[in-house]
Structure 1
Amino acid sequence: MTWTMPAEFAPQERIWMAFPRVGNTLGDDADSADEARDTWAAVANAAARFEPVTMVVDPSAVTEARARLSADVEIEIAPLDDFWMRDIGPTFVLDEAGTLGAVDWTFNGWGANAWATWERDDRIGATVAGLAGATHLPSPLVNEGGGIHVDGEGTVLVTETVQLDPRRNPYATKERVEWELQRTIGATKVIWLPRGLTRDYESAGTRGHVDMVAAFAAPGRVLLHWQDDPAHPDYGVVRQIRAVLEEATDAAGRHLEIIELPAPATLRDEDGFVDWNYANHLVVNGGVIACGYGEPEADARAAGILAEAYGREVVTIDARPILQRGGGIHCITQQQPRAGR
């Protein structure tokens, strides 16, 4: 049996999310916590316009979730540590007959970060697999959904600083990682990017998730975060990544078309250089849910690029409360592909 991960622009059955619960990521400031809850709910409510959405909610957060989610969003209750469904949940795949499978990566808090807890989150992959009626496919690879991006035809983008992270996979080699990615998601060509964005290497970061910098919009076409201000350290980072992509070929032997997604103008916040980007977006049936940053011109420019790349309606949501906590809209969502042929 061969399992393959469909592209994110393939037909979908539903979107899975996890609702914020009290803890390190949510923070202690009540107003900021409510802003985060409102933003997670806004993403779910927007996605529910296009397809079914299921929100996994910790028992402690049910009241907060019900107060914010539209009636179109289904709720499932399960214990959570954190609420980044892309990373703690399963990666959905299909076999040759169109049967749904769910790859349950080993999760260890993005490389055993000192602030993280993950005993409950490590079980969410199996929980969601069961709720979705998918074949449970456990993997020994410590990996997160934000650490991979596929074209649906056998090509996957990864970064050397995630899958080869000694705090995740101390005995990993590229060969071993590639073998496991072929077994689980059907990857026949792995494109290794050198790293992720600068802020992602701070204490709350993932140390290089690819979904903060690049995404396939179609086979052979990659959307790339682009920082054009030399004052930002990602100015050099994105050029290093682009050089690798320009030399790469995909599973079909094609050279890649690269579409730049210019960064917003803001360079810094109170914590340093920002990682604000538009590459971290959610594709849904007939639409795209995009990150916004309170910069009308930059947000509109990115929405136009995404609309042209996908040929879909773009809905922009202010994602700053998500980025402040270490991720974006893509990071808090996980698509379930439509099963069958």
Structure 2
Amino acid sequence: MYPKKLNYTMPAEWAAHERTFISWPVQDSMVYPELYEEVCAGYAEFIEAIAEFEPITVVVNSADLERVQGRFAQAGSAETGANDRISLLAIEHNDAWLRDNGPTFVVGPQGELGGVNWGFNAWGGKYAPWDLDDAVAPQILNTLNVKQFDAPLVLEGGSIHTDGEGTLLTTEECLLNLNRNPQLSREEIEAAVKNYVNVDQIIWLKRGLSGDETDGHIDNVACFAAPGKILLQVCNDPDDENYAITQENLAILSQAVDAQGRKLEIIPIPQPPQAFYEDTRLTLSYLNFYFVNGGIILPVFGGEAAETDRQAVKILGELYPQRRIRTVNGMAIIREGGNVHCTTQQMPAGRH
């Protein structure tokens, strides 16, 4: 039986968390394995920043367990006590994007936790092998001893975003891509998503950002800021491929209503300046931030992006005056294809 039938719902990301899950990088799977130490330093920064706000569990390959344990033992801070909130969980994995291969947590009518186990095929078969990654979510759910819902759908967590009140955002470019579920129609995919995260309405954007190798994950282009409010990254340069993409997104969202019948308030965040690595455009996005209890972990990019960094901090600070905006180095892992939201998965507060 699927979650909707049992009245389990995927909460909004800003709802209270029990903890965060994140995976530790695997050098063999990296696009640029020579940057392994730099990427590990970026992950460590994310982990320590999140631990300032809430507990965090790091999924680690058994071969790396001792070394990672030592790293965080040395980095412990007596002032914040953050290190006491970092724990490790040995689960073998191929790659380190837990947003996409981890479970999507849902909460039942009595506050009981469950988790959706989606199929995972490494973003349409782009990076083999992915067998270990496809088995990560069930192991996390088994460790937590929570109810597991196996969805008949290949889906990454970074491709969906919900307001917790019945509305979900996604892109056609990703969810309808033939490299995920070629045997299913649009209607079948939509029905499965609605049944497994318990939403009544899906707002479909067409495309994600230019060059995004995930095939247009929603978590780089738009997200709910609150029920009825959407943050949208916008590009104002007509010569940039993202101009047409973000203008189209703006037009779609301007006409949309949510599951409660509300017209959406759209809050634009300016796109950072273009950045490249070895002729590959990097998918820079302020919307790849992550909600934590009492705060927001926001990637910033520095250099030519200093002004848009400042604007992003200001916009989010004014939108969330009760949350501390904690910035992290958004350039640390972006060459591998994602940022802080892509690496994390929130576990809502609930019974288990």
Partner of 2:317: 307
Note the 1:297-336 alignment, pairs <5 A.
297-311=307-321, 312-336=323-347
Note the 1:1-341 alignment, pairs <5 A.
1-25=6-30, 27-29=32-34, 32-69=35-72, 70=76, 71-72=83-84, 73-113=86-126, 115-200=127-212, 205-294=213-302, 295-311=305-321, 312-339=323-350
For 2:202, what is the secondary structure of its paired residue? Answer: strand
Alpha-carbon displacement from aligned partner over 1:252-280 (angstroms, at most 9, x marks no partner): 01111111111122444432433211011
1:160–1:194 CA contact under 8 A, matched in 2: yes
Q: CA deviation at 1:289?
A: 0.2
For 1:264, what is the secondary structure of its paired residue? Answer: coil
Q: CA deviation at 1:26?
A: 5.8
Alpha-carbon displacement from aligned partner over 1:282-321 (angstroms, at most 9, x marks no partner): 0000000001101332212101111222331111111213
Q: Quick one: structure 1 residues 10 and 230, their matched pair in 2 at CA, closer, same or farther if it must change by over 3 Å?
A: same
Q: Is the deviation greater in 316-325 or in 328-337?
A: 316-325
The whole-number CA distance in structure 2 between the counterparts of 1:16 and 1:249 is 32
Partner of 2:3: none
Alpha-carbon displacement from aligned partner over 1:35-87 (angstroms, at most 9, x marks no partner): 10011111111001111100000122224422433433100011010000100
* Aligned-partner residue type, residue 9 of structure 2: T
1:196–1:209 CA contact under 8 A, matched in 2: yes
* Aligned-partner residue type, residue 232 of structure 1: D
1:159–1:208 CA contact under 8 A, matched in 2: yes
* Aligned-partner residue type, residue 333 of structure 1: T
Report sequence identity in percent: 39
In structure 1, stretches of 5+ residues that fail to align are none
1:178–1:187 CA contact under 8 A, matched in 2: no
The whole-number CA distance in structure 1 between the counterparts of 2:97 and 2:238 is 31
Q: Is the deviation greater in 75-84 or in 293-302?
A: 293-302
Aligned residues: 333
In structure 2, stretches of 5+ residues that fail to align are 1-5, 77-82
For 2:333, what is the secondary structure of its paired residue? Answer: helix
* Aligned-partner residue type, residue 308 of structure 2: A
The whole-number CA distance in structure 2 between the counterparts of 1:199 and 1:99 is 39
2:234–2:269 CA contact under 8 A, matched in 1: yes
For 1:207, what is the secondary structure of its paired residue? Answer: coil
Alpha-carbon displacement from aligned partner over 1:202-229 (angstroms, at most 9, x marks no partner): xxx1111100111111001111111112
Partner of 2:80: none
CA RMSD in angstroms, aligned pairs only: 1.4
Q: Is the deviation greater in 302-311 or in 61-70?
A: 61-70
TM-score (normalizing by structure 2): 0.91
